[in-house]
Amino acid sequence: MRGSELNALWHPFADMGAVDGARLVITRGEGPWVFGEDGTRYLDGTAALWYANLGHGRREIADAVARQMRELDAYSIFGDFANPPALELADRLAALMPAPGAKVFLGSGGGDAIDTAAKVARRHFAELGQPDRVHLIGRGHGYHGTHGIGTSIGGIPANLAGFGPMLEHASSVPHDDAAALEAEIVRVGPDRVAAFFCEPVIGAGGVHLPPDGYLEAVAEICARHGVLFVADCVICAFGRLGTWLGIDRWPVTPDMVTIAKGVTSGTLPLGAVLVAADVAAPFFPGEAGAPVLRHGPTYAGHPACCAAALAALDLYERDDVIARGRELEAPLAEALAPLAGHELVGEVRAGTGFLAGVEFDADALAAEPGLPGRLQLAARERGVLVRPLGRGVAVSPPLVCGQEEIDVLAAALAEGLAAL
Ligand code: PMP
């Protein structure tokens, strides 16, 4: 039987010609480990898709979700509806913002948080009498999800190819050059730019750390031109960078912060935009007759997803998991540093947060574009899951790992490289 007749499941970001009939079916998870259907144990070197920060199999979250589903399984928060977990979660997330009075718009994931932030930015300016402020700027290598707006402002060309025209008023600037952002704002016209989208550490684009002073500089440039600074912390929050939001590692004040993934440790889908008080102000005038944000996904404020998030937040607090990202960053960087000596490796990027990118040498990659995928498989054969991304592989293990797991990860990559 041909592979394509085996199963109907169409995998995201996958060569289905290669995947069909050769799936890695994961059936169980426990702490930083997951298990294949044949019982093989793998170190989850990527925390699934950068989200299982608390590790797998956390009973506290499963129990909280089960309790919530027995009480109220589902209800919407459109209009004047609310439910207790959504209310509590919004307040707890708002408190993570640097200034009081932030508002929280809940959704189902990172991509819809990005679309929400973009639409909030545009509506905010429309309400201020600046309807021409619609332009959105992202960064090279940036990844902001696969919804319409997030795709448009993404900085990974392959993700835009073949889809035809995307959002018209969007552009991208080099990821490491604050002056280039200012030049782009001036080129477009400062009174036409609504927002700049910025991952503190770029994740899916291949793990790119911000140059010293970069985030402070772009935040200042945005503020000076009245452009909203949106910190996309979908990956960076909840301990990945050793702080609650990720952007709060630097002395900058974002106008909006997008989160998802680690907020539930990935256990149920949930994303959110944390909106600074002054950005949300036009929509909260204190009396009826306010502008209505006609926007919101069906599962915004889903009580079971919010219950999962509340249970995850409790675990982050109780076990001091947030600080772990920072404690683990140096050991991970040290363990991976020797890989830079391998002839196929161009660069190892690590040291800010518990994530790293191992990038192949440009010539080696030009000669053999399949290297990232081959290293992924070589590591997998050694019991470690990593992701081929950009020009190399990325790792972002659960924050419940210790030195032992870091050593397992580094050894699998070193042996995998040697085997290539
Ligand atoms: N922003 C960033 C920084 C992300 O890494 C991702 C997902 N990898 C997204 C947005 C999109 O999130 P989702 O896949 O939940 O839509």
What pLDDT does residue 22 have?
84
Find out whether the beta carbon of 235 lies less than 6 Å from any atom of ligand 1.
Answer: yes
In which residue ranges of the chain is CATH 3.90.1150.10 found? Answer: 3-57+320-419
- Closest ligand 1 atom number to CA of residue 108: 15
What pLDDT does residue 5 have?
63
Q: How far, in Å, is the centroid of ligand 1 from the Cα of 204?
A: 8
CB-neighbour burial class of residue 1 (10 A; exposed 0-12, middle 13-18, buried 19+): exposed
Q: Is the pLDDT of residue 153 over 70?
A: yes
Q: Which CATH architecture has domain 3-57+320-419?
A: Alpha-Beta Complex (3.90)
> CA 187, 152, 215, 231 torsion: positive or negative?
positive
SS3 106: strand
Residues found in the chain: 420
d(CA 149, CA 126): 18
Q: How far, in Å, is the centroid of ligand 1 from the Cα of 110?
A: 4
Q: Is residue 1 very low, low, confident or very high in pLDDT (cuts 50, 70, 90)? A: very low
DSSP letters spanning 154-214: ---GGGTTTS----SSEEEE-TT-HHHHHHHHHHH-GGGEEEEEE-SSB-TTT-BPPPTTH
Find out whether the beta carbon of 200 lies less than 6 Å from any atom of ligand 1.
Answer: no
As a whole-number percent, the residues of the chain with pLDDT over 90 amount to: 97
Give the CATH class of 62-318.
alpha beta
In which residue ranges of the chain is CATH 3.40.640.10 found? Answer: 62-318
* Among 349, 305, 412, 325, residue whose Cα is nearest residue 53: 325
Query: What's the chain's average pLDDT?
Result: 97
Q: Is the pLDDT of residue 3 over 50?
A: no
pLDDT digits (tens, 9 = 90+) for 391-415: 999 999 999 999 999 999 999 999 9
Pairing mode of beta strands 256-259, 271-275: antiparallel
Find out whether the beta carbon of 144 lies less than 6 Å from any atom of ligand 1.
Answer: yes
pLDDT digits (tens, 9 = 90+) for 131-149: 999 999 999 999 999 999 9
Q: How far, in Å, is the centroid of ligand 1 from the Cα of 112?
A: 9
pLDDT digits (tens, 9 = 90+) for 301-333: 999 999 999 999 999 999 999 999 999 999 999
**Nearest alpha carbon, ligand 1 atom 16:** 111
Find out whether the beta carbon of 204 lies less than 6 Å from any atom of ligand 1.
Answer: yes
Tell me, yes or no, if the pTM score tops 0.95: yes
Q: Is residue 207 very low, low, confident or very high in pLDDT (cuts 50, 70, 90)? A: very high
**Nearest alpha carbon, ligand 1 atom 7:** 145
Is residue 46 within 8 Å of residue 204, measured between CB atoms? Answer: no
- Closest ligand 1 atom number to CA of residue 204: 5
Find out whether the beta carbon of 301 lies less than 6 Å from any atom of ligand 1.
Answer: no
